[in-house]
Amino acid sequence: MRALKAVVALVAVLTPVACGIVGAQAPGNFVMVSGKVTAVSGDSITVTPIGQGQAVAARIAEDTRLERVDPASFSDIKVGDTVRVMGARRPEGDQPMPALRIQLGEAGAPAGGGGRGGFGGMPAKVKTTDPFVVTIEGQGDRPFVVTQDTEVVQVKPLARDDIKVGEWAMLFGTREGDTVTARFLRVGAGVVSALPGTIKTATKGALTIEVPGGTQVQVKLPDGTAILSQKSSTPSDIKTGELVAVVPATFQMGGEGDIEASRLFVGEIPSGNAGWIAGGAAPMPMMVVSGSVSKADPLTIRVGQDKRAVKLAQGATVVRLARAFSFDLKPGQEVTVAGRMTPDGSFIARGVLLSAQ
């Protein structure tokens, strides 16, 4: 039960940033899938991933947490609002932490009604919006820096009858035998943080991609969008000082100990949360560990102030990422775009990963 509560708390805070809309194999008896609602009937819901993975049919129980998550903007946030803020890194001293994601509003109630939500995260009250400072009960004030890359979502309670076929969704549940029970369900465009698809048109500062299933999405490419190419590599090509992102072969709680890797990315690792480059390869994409190589043989990486040994699991792959440019984006190419949905249905990218050629 402790493991379930810990994982649910982590998923609730990090999923919209870390997980795309491809299926992800969660640890043990846990099941996690992001995609679109393809069926709703009574107390049952089916979520089908866009891209890889199989559809998951789950039972909505009386204690299932239901939330609607819609894109919002920083101007929607007012003094006194309740928020949860995910930062890019731990602040040093009193320095403001860059805000990756701001969740506005309380979490949803159980499907059966009653009770308050509040999976994961530390609820805080907005003290000021310029500069952005929040007050955490018992911990005092905490300043954040809001940038054009900061994602803002509005979270509201969701009634079971309001779930519709065709909506974006993220489902986290547990499996007992052949039955999956939803423990946490989020619905709405605010759950989307990565989209796999094929480029249909490419112009300066914009793409149109077609995701599996035929839906076309307009993608905006602001200045500074990371565009990356990838190719197969080998462990012997890894050099001291290079940046790496490690996909664990198994789920690990906490941030200590050696890592057994199923996939290793090296080279131009994107800043912030790098889980989107792993897609469905990660047991849980938010578990991707980023750092720098402190020793190439045996492979050891530095994560913050800690050093962690990395062992490649049987069949593990090494992928080298390199910088690419907007003129490398051409119709017909398969890509994964990472970023956030906007209220008008377009997608603002902070990163584009070209499929291996």
Tokens (6 digits) for 88:
């890019």
pLDDT, the chain, mean: 82
DSSP H helices, the chain, are 2-18
Cα gap 349→196, rounded to integer Å = 12
pLDDT of 19? 36
pLDDT at residue number 214 = 83
Beta bridge partners of 142: 134
Mean pLDDT across the stretch 292-306?
A: 90
Averaged pLDDT, 10-37: 57
Query: Residues 121-137: what's their mean pLDDT?
Result: 89
pLDDT tens-digit series, residues 317-326: 999 999 999 9
Residue 5 pLDDT grade (very low, low, confident, very high; cuts 50, 70, 90)? low
Max intra-chain CA distance, the chain? 57
Decide: 150 and 85 in contact? Cβ < 8 Å: no
pLDDT the model gives residue 283: 40
User: What pLDDT, on the 0 to 100 scale, is given for residue 113?
Assistant: 41
Distance from C-alpha of 58 to C-alpha of 204, rounded to nearest angstrom: 42
Tokens of 313: 């699991």
Give percent of the chain above pLDDT 90.
47
Look-up of token digits 């980023």: 290
Task: Give the whole-number percent of the chain exceeding pLDDT 70.
Answer: 80
Average pLDDT over every residue of 191-216: 90
pLDDT of residue 107: 60
| Predicted TM-score of the model (pTM) | 0.75
Model pLDDT for residues 57-113, shown as the tens digit of each residue: 999 999 999 999 999 989 999 999 999 988 765 545 567 888 888 999 876 445 544
* Better-predicted residue by pLDDT, 24 or 220: 220
